[in-house]
Amino acid sequence: MRPDFWPALRSPIPWALLALAATMPFLLPNYYLHILTITLVYAALASAWNIVGGIAGQISLAHSLFVGAGAMLASALLVKLGINMWLGMIIAAAASAAMGAAVSFIDYRFRLGHLSFALITMAFAEMAEIYVTNTEFLGGASGLFLPKDKGDLLAFQFGGINGVYWIMLGMAAACVAVNFAILSSPLGYNLRSIRDNENAAQAIGVGLLRNKTLAMTISAVLTSIIGTIYARYLAFVDPYLLVSPVLTIEIVLFATVGGLGTALGPALGAFILAPLGEILRGHLGGFLPGLHYFVYGLVVVGVILLMPAGVWPSLRDRVLRKPAAAGN
Amino acid sequence: MRWTNFSRRSCRGFFVGSAYGLLALGMGLVYGVSGIVNFAHGDFVSLGMYLCFALFTAFALDPYVSVIFTVPIMIALGALVYRFLIKPIAGRQLLMVIQLTLGVALLIQNGLMMAFGGQPTRAPSMIESKLFLVGDVVIRGAHLVACIVSFALAILLYVMLQSTDTGRAIRAVQQEPRAAALMGVDVGRVQVMTFAIGVGLLAIAAALLLPGLPIQPTQGLRFTVITLLVFVLGGMTNFVAIMLGGIVIGVAEAIGTIYMTHTLGQLLPYLIFVAIMLFRPQGLVWRS
């Protein structure tokens, strides 16, 4: 049985964990706090992707579009037009929602199979990178520099790493909570029925367009907001990092390793892989570039062969000594 | 002058496109037999190129000669990858297979990065600087070789599929694996074999594309995407259409950049791809 959303929200455990996590800036040196912040970014991104890719089973490779919109568009609005980044974040989120809805509509209208959906979204991602790196307004190939972070909350400045860490912690927690909420709501049941058999779901009256669009829009908005915060944290907004299809591949990889379609799995996947990658890159990147991606590759191949459902479902079943419920 | 430029460009697009067609043939073969889309495809191409590069630096072998060594290596590697990595999860969720091949892609790409470093390098060939003049169109030797070899291989593959026992077994598995198994075809072996052949073809395609092309470990994804474009354009399993699709993409890529703004030119192959995917999912050609 899946824990219901409201009891889980009332239970003290998640809140205690959250409070503990919130004290980290006082305990950890900056280097490790930076790694933790990056990890939270990826945990949030993987959780947001999971709504579409895991729960609804739609292999979207277009999420770099939404991260890119959140990061590049909000930054460009600030740097080029002087629009407040909070407003920019909302505009970017709205743009992402529109793009997400358009992708879902195309998917619905042309009844794309899983493979076609993956390929088309990948083409969109490639096109987005080409478009952004060639568009002067969005920073072109050289990217954008955001003004210095002076800690002015009204201007979307969080006063250095501590502030960003707290914001990202809240964001990651929110993404996981949204996953929980969707899983225990009618939307979650609809999405899972679509994932398991689209035609059967439609036959029993699950609206494909409505549910898919809703899932994609929620995911796109969350992803876009994370993108804006990440851009603010990085201060240098690099299209080859933030609009790159490689970013999507990383997100999908973390979610798969952690456990697709579960509320906690994708975040767990990010917590396993992102720090590992950062530390490997930090310590060995100098003389062995590419090592951390190589290790990612090993981990993903190993996890898929040894625990195809992902790390979190395997752990949970081992601890609870229950047979794996299919796909939960 | 403009016309010469146009014909030179389209010639180049045609020749390079035929090599793209060869890349996609391997993918189409594997997809037809195992239902797998290999996202590490482009990284196998990279691997083939770097093997040529290694042989060039060690023994000063011309890329065209080193094919003698790289093809068996890549065939063996392909068989191993299919047998021990892909086969255990084949038939499961599509995402799992995609993820796994992406994992393999990361392994190859970053293995190359660790072995050869991230700097772009080149492996020159003797005929790289040879030029031919047809009318007022200059044709580079390497492109001509790429085109001839690609078409020769495509025809060879076609004949092999049509009129040898192995080819018939492959087609049988492609059409109906269960019936093929009942007729005594070892489906598992055919799948390993086609994957190995597909990867072996990439070793040849790698050598054909190599002369004059700076190589980098991170280029794999680009080749994967080009291959996917061609693969879809050709309706995924139709051989003739796949070769045609390669030429369409090659020419679109070559011409797009001179007649349109830079951005639009780069976007053109993807736009074609999306349009085909949506409006003609069965590919450009009606019947095989």
- pLDDT, one tens digit per residue, over A112-137 is 878 888 888 988 998 898 889 888 88
**pLDDT at site A173:** 93
Is B187 a residue whose pLDDT tops 80? yes
- The answer, for A261 touching chain B at a CB cutoff of 8 Å, is no
- The answer, for A298 touching chain B at a CB cutoff of 8 Å, is yes
Is B97 a residue whose pLDDT tops 90? no
Q: Calculate helix-pair angle for A291-306, A265-284, nearest 10 degrees.
A: 150
Cα dihedral A112, A115, A120, A121 sign: positive
Higher pLDDT, A1 or A137: A137
- The answer, for B274 touching chain A at a CB cutoff of 8 Å, is yes
Is A20 a residue whose pLDDT tops 90? no
Within 43-72 of A, beta carbons closer than 8 Å to B belong to 53, 57, 59
**pLDDT at site A47:** 95
Distance CA A258, CA B153 (A): 43
Is A2 a residue whose pLDDT tops 80? no
A281 neighbors A326 (Cβ within 8 angstroms): no
Question: What letter would DSSP give residue A52?
Answer: I
> Does the residue B236 lie in any domain?
no
Higher pLDDT, B236 or A202: A202
Confidence class of residue A327 from pLDDT cuts 50, 70 and 90?
Answer: very low
- CB pair distance less than 8 Å for B99 and A115: no
Strand partners of residue B215: B121
pLDDT in tens, B47-95: 999 999 898 888 888 888 888 899 999 999 999 998 888 888 877 777 7
Q: Which of A38-47, B28-37, B89-98, B266-275 has the highest mean pLDDT?
A: A38-47
Q: What's the mean pLDDT when you consider all of chain B?
A: 83
A215 neighbors A187 (Cβ within 8 angstroms): yes
- The answer, for A105 touching chain B at a CB cutoff of 8 Å, is no
Q: Which residues contact A274 (CB under 8 A, 6 or more apart)?
A: A35, A38, A39, A42, A43, A254
Strand partners of residue B121: B215
**pLDDT at site B2:** 62
Distance CA A26, CA A18 (A): 14
Within 151-210 of B, beta carbons closer than 8 Å to A belong to none
Higher pLDDT, A134 or A46: A46
Q: Please report, for residues A4, A23, A31, A40, B148, the alpha-carbon distance to residue A19 in angstroms, rounded to integers and kept in the order given.
A: 22, 7, 21, 15, 67
Is A325 a residue whose pLDDT tops 60? no
- CB pair distance less than 8 Å for A260 and B95: yes
Give ipTM to 2 decimals: 0.79
B127 neighbors B142 (Cβ within 8 angstroms): yes
Chosen from B37, B50, B110 to mutate, greatest number of chain A CBs within 10 A: B110
Q: Concatenated DSSP letters for A196-237?
A: H-HHHHHHTT--HHHHHHHHHHHHHHHHHHHHHHHHHHHSEE
Q: How far is CA B2 from the centre of its chain?
A: 31
Distance CA A57, CA A55 (A): 6
A259 neighbors A307 (Cβ within 8 angstroms): no
B108 neighbors B245 (Cβ within 8 angstroms): no
**pLDDT at site B136:** 67
Region B162-178 average pLDDT: 85
**A235: closest CA among A165, A145, A159?**
A145
Name every chain A residue with its beta carbon within 8 A of the beta carbon of B266. 130, 134
Determine the length of chain B: 288
Q: State the Cα torsion A46-A51-A52-A57 to the nearest 10°.
A: 100
Region A184-212 average pLDDT: 88
Region B175-193 average pLDDT: 85
- Whole-prediction pTM value? 0.86
Selecting from B94, B103, B277 the residue whose C-beta is nearest the C-beta of A301 gives B103
**pLDDT at site A321:** 63
Write down the H helix ranges in chain B. Answer: 2-34, 41-59, 63-81, 94-116, 141-163, 165-175, 177-182, 187-209, 220-233, 239-259, 262-279
Name every chain B residue with its beta carbon within 8 A of the beta carbon of A304. 89, 96, 99-100, 103
Could you list the residue range(s) of the whole structural domain that residue B35 is in?
A: 18-220
Confidence class of residue A285 from pLDDT cuts 50, 70 and 90?
Answer: low
Write down the H helix ranges in chain A. Answer: 5-10, 12-22, 24-27, 30-50, 63-68, 74-81, 85-109, 114-133, 160-183, 186-196, 198-203, 208-234, 239-242, 245-258, 265-284, 291-306, 311-320
Distance CA B45, CA B222 (A): 10
Distance CA B197, CA B22 (A): 12
Distance CA A279, CA A302 (A): 20
Backbone angles phi and psi of A158, in degrees to 5? -110, 10
Residue of A nearest to B36 (CA): A115
Confidence class of residue A323 from pLDDT cuts 50, 70 and 90?
Answer: low
**pLDDT at site A1:** 40
Distance CA A172, CA B223 (A): 35
Is A18 a residue whose pLDDT tops 60? yes
Q: Please report, for residues B19, B80, B107, B220, the alpha-carbon distance to residue B51 in angstroms, rounded to integers and kept in the order given.
A: 18, 17, 16, 14
pLDDT in tens, B119-137: 888 777 766 667 777 666 6
Confidence class of residue B7 from pLDDT cuts 50, 70 and 90?
Answer: confident
> Does the residue B233 lie in any domain?
no
Is A100 a residue whose pLDDT tops 90? yes
- CB pair distance less than 8 Å for B94 and A116: no
Region B246-262 average pLDDT: 78
Distance CA B21, CA B241 (A): 9
Q: Concatenated DSSP letters for B209-223?
A: H-TT--B-GGGHHHH
- The answer, for A194 touching chain B at a CB cutoff of 8 Å, is no
Selecting from A59, A256, A297 the residue whose C-beta is nearest the C-beta of B106 gives A297
> Does the residue B9 lie in any domain?
no
Confidence class of residue B199 from pLDDT cuts 50, 70 and 90?
Answer: very high
**Percent of chain A residues past pLDDT 90, beyond the cut:** 32
**pLDDT at site A290:** 79
Region A195-211 average pLDDT: 88
> Does the residue B198 lie in any domain?
yes
**pLDDT at site B57:** 86
Region A256-274 average pLDDT: 90
Region A66-78 average pLDDT: 92
- CB pair distance less than 8 Å for B95 and A256: yes
Residue of B nearest to A122 (CA): B225
- CB pair distance less than 8 Å for B96 and A256: yes
Confidence class of residue A328 from pLDDT cuts 50, 70 and 90?
Answer: very low
**pLDDT at site B129:** 67
Closest approach of chain B CAs to the CA of A78, in angstroms?
A: 24
- CB pair distance less than 8 Å for B274 and A123: yes
